[in-house]
């Protein structure tokens, strides 16, 4: 082994420092280090199926970003874990920032867990791109400067389905009976539904709060039979919606069912012949937009199945953060916030581009309704749904479905 004296080593170090000062590349500059992002999503529990798709979309985006040269010439490294529950989500997000070197936090689908991650982001003054939790309160009374929301909020989902219900004369003077998830998301969704019904002369004659571990809906379906509503409304989340849909079909109740929340993975799981009614979605793989169809084709080739809406939203969220970092030439929090707050437009694989609203950090975008295809018309288990037209219409501003400043108490 070749040995060098301490004096020789010191001379070499000085020469290296001088070369770096003159602009020569430095292997210790850190600029070739990977850009680390901490990603959390539920992989277990009643939202686990959604989190599994979220990870697939995230990994696909990570690979494409890195194959295209990364971010500012640096590779992206995503650390992704099961958020489990709100307390665990908070602990993991703090560790990712403090010990694992994450520069940004992303992900989540559970509104209660998203809230705790938002609090961690605020304490650490780090950016959190919140991808899948829909509670209005996260963008409202709980909003903060460091969090941006890419999924549609509860009010948008209610107003999207509401437009279809009004079109079909299913609101005015009609009696509604609701089933609501008993946590922050469900309470928030019920509040949005009540506002819509009150504004359009609908009558909510009953509502049952449902714990997230309930699997037998028969006691609630018996209450619905006794109440004899005109319309049954689901304000549930995750695989509970699938369970409700299956059992509702088995009970063969004569009242039409609609819902203000249903992710397509849970709709697919219901199976042909069980799903009924009108439901909202933020995106669906049959959307006839060329960029969207390219994404679908690539995803299907890679994973052997079409992407669900959580795969899509993680994919576009990572493309958004990559664009922001490349254009600001920074991974620092303040320049990224400023970039988003100037309402920069992003291609999110829809007909109209999207932007973050500056005063509540909500991504403003199109939404859709969907309904089941007639029995026997589906080509496969992923072809059960017919997608409706985008709302709002092209002659309307995209913000019309979202809470107004008067309705939203957000103060950044």
Burial 317-346 (b: 16+ CB within 10 A, else e): bbbbbbbbbbebeebebeebbebbbeebeb
Over residues 47-54, mean pLDDT? 97
Q: What is the pLDDT of residue 5?
A: 44
Mean pLDDT, residues 3-26 taken together? 40
Measured between alpha carbons, how far is residue 202 from residues 263, 323, 380 in Å? 25, 44, 37
The whole-number average pLDDT for the span 322-351 is 98
Report the share of the chain in percent with pLDDT over 70.
92
21 phi, psi to nearest 5 deg: -65, -30
- The C-alpha angle with vertex 227 and arms to 226 and 233, in degrees rounded to 5, equals 120
Residue 83 has pLDDT above 90, yes or no: yes
Domain 155-281+367-401 in the same topology as domain 35-152+288-364: yes
- pTM value is 0.90
Instruction: Quote the pLDDT of residue 26.
Output: 36
CATH fold of the domain at 35-152+288-364: Rossmann fold (3.40.50)
Residue 148 has pLDDT above 50, yes or no: yes
CATH number of 155-281+367-401: 3.40.50.2300
Say if residue 11's pLDDT is above 70. no
Q: Break the chain into its structural domains and give their ranges.
A: 35-152+288-364, 155-281+367-401
Q: What is the pLDDT of residues 176-218, one digit of tens each?
A: 999 999 999 999 999 999 999 999 999 999 999 999 999 999 9
Give residue 68's pLDDT.
Answer: 97
pLDDT at 375: 87
Q: For 233-247, how does the pLDDT look when each residue is reduced to its tens digit (9 = 90+)? A: 999 999 999 999 999
What percent of the chain is predicted at pLDDT more than 90?
Answer: 91
Instruction: Give the pLDDT confidence score for residue 32 in this predicted structure.
Output: 56
Q: Does residue 228 have a pLDDT over 80? A: yes
> Across residues 250-272, what is the average pLDDT?
95
Average pLDDT (391-407) is 94
- The Cα–Cα gap between 211 and 113 comes to 16
pLDDT score at 365? 98
Nearest in space to 383 (alpha carbons), one of 291, 275, 252: 275
């Amino acid at each position: 082994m070749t040995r060098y004296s301490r004096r020789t080593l010191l001379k070499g170090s000085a020469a290296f420092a001088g070369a770096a000062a003159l602009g020569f590349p430095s292997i210790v500059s850190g600029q070739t280090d990977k850009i680390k992002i901490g990603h959390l999503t539920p992989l277990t529990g009643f939202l686990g199926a959604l989190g599994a798709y979220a990870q697939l979309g995230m990994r696909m985006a990570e690979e494409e970003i890195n194959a295209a040269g990364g971010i500012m010439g640096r590779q992206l490294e995503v650390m992704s874990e099961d958020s489990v529950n709100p307390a665990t989500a908070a602990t993991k997000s703090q560790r990712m920032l403090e010990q694992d070197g994450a520069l940004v936090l992303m992900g989540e689908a559970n509104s209660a867990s998203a809230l705790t991650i938002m609090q961690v982001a605020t304490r650490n003054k780090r950016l959190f791109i919140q991808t899948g939790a829909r509670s209005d309160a996260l963008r409202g009374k709980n909003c903060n400067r460091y969090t941006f929301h890419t999924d549609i909020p509860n009010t948008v989902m209610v107003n999207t389905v509401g437009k279809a219900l009004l079109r079909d004369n299913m609101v005015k003077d009609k009696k509604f009976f609701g089933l609501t998830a008993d946590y922050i998301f469900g309470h928030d969704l019920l509040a949005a539904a009540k506002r819509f019904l009150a504004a359009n002369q609908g009558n909510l004659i009953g509502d049952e709060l449902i714990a997230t571990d309930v699997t037998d809906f028969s006691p609630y379906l018996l209450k619905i039979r006794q109440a004899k509503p005109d319309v049954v409304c689901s304000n549930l989340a995750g695989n509970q919606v699938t369970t409700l849909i299956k059992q509702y079909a088995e009970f063969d109740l004569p009242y039409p069912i609609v819902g203000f929340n249903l992710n397509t993975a849970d709709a697919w799981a219901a199976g042909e012949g069980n799903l009924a009614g009108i439901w909202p979605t933020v995106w669906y793989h049959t959307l006839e937009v060329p960029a969207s169809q390219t994404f679908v084709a690539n995803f299907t080739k890679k994973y052997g199945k079409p992407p669900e809406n959580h795969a899509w939203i993680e994919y576009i969220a990572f493309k958004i953060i990559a664009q922001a970092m490349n254009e600001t030439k920074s991974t620092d929090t303040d320049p990224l916030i400023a970039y988003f707050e100037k309402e920069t437009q992003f291609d999110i694989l829809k007909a109209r581009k999207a932007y973050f609203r500056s005063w509540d950090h909500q991504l403003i975008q199109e939404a859709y309704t969907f309904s089941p295809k007639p029995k026997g018309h589906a080509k496969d288990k992923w072809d059960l749904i017919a997608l409706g037209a985008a709302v709002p219409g092209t002659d309307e501003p995209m913000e019309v479905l979202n809470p107004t400043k008067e309705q939203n108490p957000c103060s950044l």
